[in-house]
Amino acid sequence: MSVKLAQSALLSYASPERKKTSMSFFKTGLGEYAEGDVFIGVRTPHIREIAAEFTHLAFDDITTLISSTIHEERLLALLIMIRQFKNNQHAIYELYLKYIEHVNNWDLVDLSAHYIIGAYLIDKDRSILYKLATSNNLWERRIAIVATWWFIRNNDFEDTIKLAIKLMNDKHDLIHKATGWMLREVGKKNVSVLRQFLDQYRLVMPRTALRYAIERFTKKERAKYMEQVH
């Protein structure tokens, strides 16, 4: 089992039509948030299948994939890392942080941050999340908030709330979306915690974040919370 076989497996699923769609969907054009990202056109379900086949890929080979210019190879690396995490938590966590600059699109972040960063930090100091939240790198800031999804699943909301406040004045819509999404996840577990946050911050939080946070509310409730929001 080698990285070349994994790369060949990806290529076997590659589609020119899918490549074109992905490059548009993930905003790879000039001046867009993923400018220059390279796709070969492989659907995520197929990448998951390959990850299952190559679960025991060596660290050196995972490193080759995670540092690749090809988006699907980086995603494959992350899905394999998730599979290896249970039996090698510290090493996978450290590998993720070492190559964090390559976790550089929203799907890469959203499919991995909570399973690796969040899961590792569940019983540890979480100051790294606050450091990431102040990064100039958009994706590191998104990793910070999405990683808390693991805490939310374990009924631990404190860091999600603190980071939502910290990221409230972020300039990027992708951070507002992620923050609102995590707040909505808090609401699924404990709606009173979400309502308490909204009652305090709805007038000053980004409209996008608020809209995402209240998606599961009734139409009447959504209208109430959106009132007077600029």
**For 79-95, how does the pLDDT look when each residue is reduced to its tens digit (9 = 90+)?**
999 999 999 999 999 99
CB 112 within 8 A of CB 78: yes
- Evaluate whether 78 touches 90 at the Cβ level (below 8 Å): no
- The average confidence (pLDDT) of the chain is 96
Q: Residue 229 above 80 pLDDT? A: no
Poorest-pLDDT segment among 29-43, 72-86, 147-161? 29-43
Is the model more confident about 44 or about 224? Answer: 44
Q: Are 14 and 41 in contact (CB under 8 A)?
A: yes
Question: What CATH number is given to the structural domain containing 203?
Answer: 1.25.10.90
What's the rounded Cα separation, in Å, for the pair 19 and 32? 17
**Cα–Cα separations (whole angstroms), residue 109 to 96, 178, 210, 216:** 11, 10, 21, 23
Instruction: Answer with the one of 64, 86, 110 that is the final residue of a domain.
Output: 110
The answer, yes or no, to whether residue 61 has pLDDT greater than 90, is yes
Note the pLDDT of residue 135: 98
The Cα–Cα gap between 45 and 66 comes to 18
Cβ neighbors of 162 (< 8 A, separation 6 or more) are 130
| Residue bearing tokens 């070349």 | 4
Find the domain containing 215 and state its range.
Answer: 112-230
Task: Map the chain to HEC letters.
Answer: CCHHHHHHHHHHCCCHHHHHHHHHHCCCCCCCCCCCCECCCCCHHHHHHHHHHCCCCCHHHHHHHHCCCEHHHHHHHHHHHHHHHCCCHHHHHHHHHHCHHHCCCHHHHHCCHHHHHHHHHCCCCCHHHHHHHCCCCHHHHHHHHHHCHHHHHCCCCHHHHHHHHHCCCCCCHHHHHHHHHHHHHHHHHCHHHHHHHHHHHCCCCCHHHHHHHCCCCCHHHHHHHHCCCC
pLDDT at 1 > cutoff 80 = no
Where does the pLDDT of residue 42 fall: very low under 50, low under 70, confident under 90, or very high at 90 and above? very high
Give me the pLDDT at residue 207, please: 94
Instruction: Give the mean model confidence (pLDDT) for residues 117-129.
Output: 98
Number of domains in the chain: 2
Q: Are residues 106 and 117 in the same domain?
A: no
Same domain (yes/no): 93, 117: no
If asked whether residues 54 and 150 sit together in one domain, one would say no
Same domain? 94 vs 116: no
- Check whether residue 140 and residue 45 sit in a common domain: no
The pLDDT score that the predictor gives to residue 145 is 98
Mean predicted confidence (pLDDT) in 158-166: 98
What pLDDT score was predicted for residue 228?
59
| Percent of the chain at pLDDT exceeding 90 | 95
User: Same domain, yes or no, for 43 and 96?
Assistant: yes
Report the pLDDT value the prediction gives residue 45, as an integer from 0 to 100: 97
Residue at which a domain ends, from 59, 83, 110: 110
Same domain, 50 and 128: no
Q: Indicate the range of 24-33, 48-57, 68-77, 115-124 predicted with least confidence.
A: 24-33
> Given this model, what pLDDT does residue 227 score?
81
Q: Are residues 118 and 230 in the same domain?
A: yes
Statement to judge: residues 59 and 94 lie in one domain: yes
Q: In the prediction, which pLDDT does 230 show?
A: 52
- Given 110, 128, 160, the domain boundary residue is 110
Same domain, 99 and 146: no
Q: Which two tokens stand for residue 25?
A: 């969907």
